[in-house]
Structure 1
Amino acid sequence: MLKLSQLKNISHLPDLVLCPLDSWDLIRVTGEDRVSFLQGQLTCDLASLKPGEQTLAAQCNPQGKAWCIVRVIVLEDRILMTQPSSVTEKQLPELKKYGTFSKVEIGKETEYQLFGLAGCKSAKYIADKVDTAATHEQSRLLENGIVIKQPYPSLRYLIVLKNQQATELIEDLKDRATVFDDSLWNAMNIAAGIAFIEKETSALFIPQMLNLQALDGISFSKGCYIGQETIARAKYRGANKRALFILTGRASSAPKAGDNVQVLLNNNWKRVGTVVSGCQYGDGHIEVLAVLPKDSGSDDIYQIKEIEGSTLYYAPLPYSLIEE
């Protein structure tokens, strides 16, 4: 299994890539109250989603700080949430705490597996082996799971299938595809400007600091949910002064979640933000998602405090932060 350090840059991505996503969890919520329960827990409008649809969302504490960012997936008989495994030890007990008051069952999913597929031939493989129409839709509900097209960069899909079909497909792919660990998937999420929280940064940021409003992960018109007051105040009173940015440059190693970002001001380094996720390609360049002041300048020079000699610069997001 290859690592991101063995890929020079994203332009050198093989035609067909399998990412097993071993450091990600699938959380399952079942029971007759699953929609109403999660409607009161997550920032998205879950009640508006039909089976086969999905969205990003945050689960927050009462102060509006995000325990985690999840991709919510609605199936016929359950709701699934994908997230990095490291944050589950903090997030899952918080979710279960409120679940005692509803007719729901919450836990790690055991009947389904998830994996990523990427590369210019990934769509053809899905059309040939999974479902012909799955590559033409944002998400496609299947008899045994779901296929979700992922945003920039490259062509890539998140696939969730029942165990038997997933195992058969993965075994077939091992003979046809180049297999990378999920450091590649992390790098693709960084390039897409999508932050998934690790345990080191859990409950540090409100969702708008992670640009979730720009990714359709926050509903400002649905009813109450945990943390809503803070999140609404940030929108309507302009209380939030921070946002998620992409930084790129050179460093001796990949920045880690929770590392400190400094900016060069008047020949001195000043701490201005926090790394949410970081990666390093085989050519030595790094890419980082960091929470910084909204007014951070595109010409500023940054460094990671914990990595001596690192130098980073602003890189544009693939979406707009301008709110209508």
Structure 2
Amino acid sequence: MRDLNSLENISLLPELALCKLDSWDLISVKGEDRIKFLQGQLTCDLNSLTPGQQTMAAQCDAQGKTISVFRLIVLEDRILLTQPKSVTPIQLPALKKFAVFSNVEIEIETEYQMLGLIGSKSAHYISQHLDAAATHDKSRLLPNGALIKQPYPSLRYLVILKNEIAAQALAELSEQAELFTDGIWNALNIASGVGFIEDKTSGEYIPQALNLDELEGISFSKGCYIGQETIARAKYRGANKRAMFILTGRAEEKPNVGDTIELKLGDNWKRVGQVISGCQYGDQHIELLAVLPKDSDPNNSQFRIKEQAESTLYIAPLPYASLSN
């Protein structure tokens, strides 16, 4: 099994790569009240989604701080949330405590599992073995799961399949695809500007500071949910002064979640932000997502990781619309 550090550049991906997403959890919410219940808990508008559709979303505390960010997928009989394993011991109890008076079952999913498919031949495999038309859609309900096309920068798919079907797919792919750890999946999330919360950063930021508004993960018209007042005030009163940026550069070691980002000011360094997610390639090139002041200058700013004083970082363009709110 290959790791990310075997690549010198993100563009050197094989034509077909399989990622077993071992550091990710799939959370299941079932029961007849699942839509109504989650509508009052999450930042997205579930009433606008039908089976097979997906969206980015966040779960927040009463102060509007983000407990977890996830990709939400609607199946016929359940809602699935994908998130890093490290945050589940925080997120799951926080969600369950509000479910006492609702007909819902919330647990780590056991009937389905996730696979990541990457590369120029991933669409061909999906059309041949899963659904001939699925690759034309942003998301699609499959007979035994769902398929979600992931954002820039590389052709890749999140495949959710029932266990027995996933086992068949794994057996087929083991002969056709190169097997990678999910470090490559994390790197592609970083390159696409999509940040997922780990345990070390849970409860630190409002969702706009993680660009959830840019990623269409917040509804400002659906009504009340936990943390909604703070999130709405940040939008309509301009209270949010932070945003998530891609930083790229070089360092001896992989950046760690929670590391401190410093900005060079003359001969001195000032703490300005925190690492949300980081990766490193084989040539010591690093990329990371960090929450920084929203007005950080991408043209004339040099950053470093405080814990790696010799590191050098610069802001790279986000692949989606420029921050403007």
**TM-score bracket relative to the smaller structure:** over 0.9
Residue 125 of structure 1 corresponds to which residue in structure 2? 125
Deviations 1:202-257 (A, max 9, x none): 01010000000001100000010000000000000000000000000000011111
AA matched with 2:319 = P
Residue 320 of structure 2 corresponds to which residue in structure 1? 319
C-alpha separation between the residues in 2 aligned to 1:162 and 1:232? 38
> RMSD of the alignment, in Å?
0.8
Residue 181 of structure 2 corresponds to which residue in structure 1? 181
Residue 301 of structure 1 corresponds to which residue in structure 2? 302
C-alpha separation between the residues in 2 aligned to 1:306 and 1:292? 17
Deviations 1:53-99 (A, max 9, x none): 00000000000000000100000000000000000010000000001
AA matched with 1:50 = T
Residue 197 of structure 1 corresponds to which residue in structure 2? 197
* 1:203-282 map, 5 Å: 203-282=203-282
C-alpha separation between the residues in 1 aligned to 2:308 and 2:15? 34
Shift of 1:106: 0.4
AA matched with 1:155 = L
Shift of 1:11: 1.1
TM-score, normalised via structure 1 length: 0.99
Deviations 1:137-168 (A, max 9, x none): 00110110001100011100000000000111
C-alpha separation between the residues in 2 aligned to 1:307 and 1:98? 41
Residue 26 of structure 1 corresponds to which residue in structure 2? 26
AA matched with 2:16 = L
SS at match of 2:310: coil
Residue 78 of structure 2 corresponds to which residue in structure 1? 78
SS at match of 1:8: coil
Shift of 1:320: 1.4
SS at match of 1:99: coil
Residue 42 of structure 2 corresponds to which residue in structure 1? 42
SS at match of 1:213: coil
Contact 1:211 1:321 in 2 (8 A): no
Shift of 1:322: 4.0
C-alpha separation between the residues in 2 aligned to 1:323 and 1:301? 22
Shift of 1:100: 1.0
Change (3 A) 1:79 1:125: same
Residue 134 of structure 1 corresponds to which residue in structure 2? 134
Shift of 1:172: 0.9
C-alpha separation between the residues in 2 aligned to 1:154 and 1:295? 29
TM-score, normalised via structure 2 length: 0.99
Moved more, 4-13 or 240-249: 4-13
Residue 164 of structure 1 corresponds to which residue in structure 2? 164
Deviations 1:283-313 (A, max 9, x none): 2100010000011011200000011310001
Report % sequence identity.
Answer: 65
C-alpha separation between the residues in 1 aligned to 2:92 and 2:132? 36
Shift of 1:323: 4.6
Q: Are residues 1:3 and 2:3 paired? A: yes
SS at match of 1:132: coil
AA matched with 1:302 = F
Deviations 1:235-282 (A, max 9, x none): 000000000000000000111110000000121000000000000011
SS at match of 1:240: coil
Shift of 1:7: 1.1
Q: Are residues 1:62 and 2:89 paired? A: no
AA matched with 1:138 = K
C-alpha separation between the residues in 1 aligned to 2:322 and 2:232? 17
Structure 1 segments, 4+ long, off by >3 Å, are 321-324
| Number of matched pairs | 324
C-alpha separation between the residues in 1 aligned to 2:109 and 2:10? 31
Shift of 1:321: 3.5
SS at match of 1:71: strand
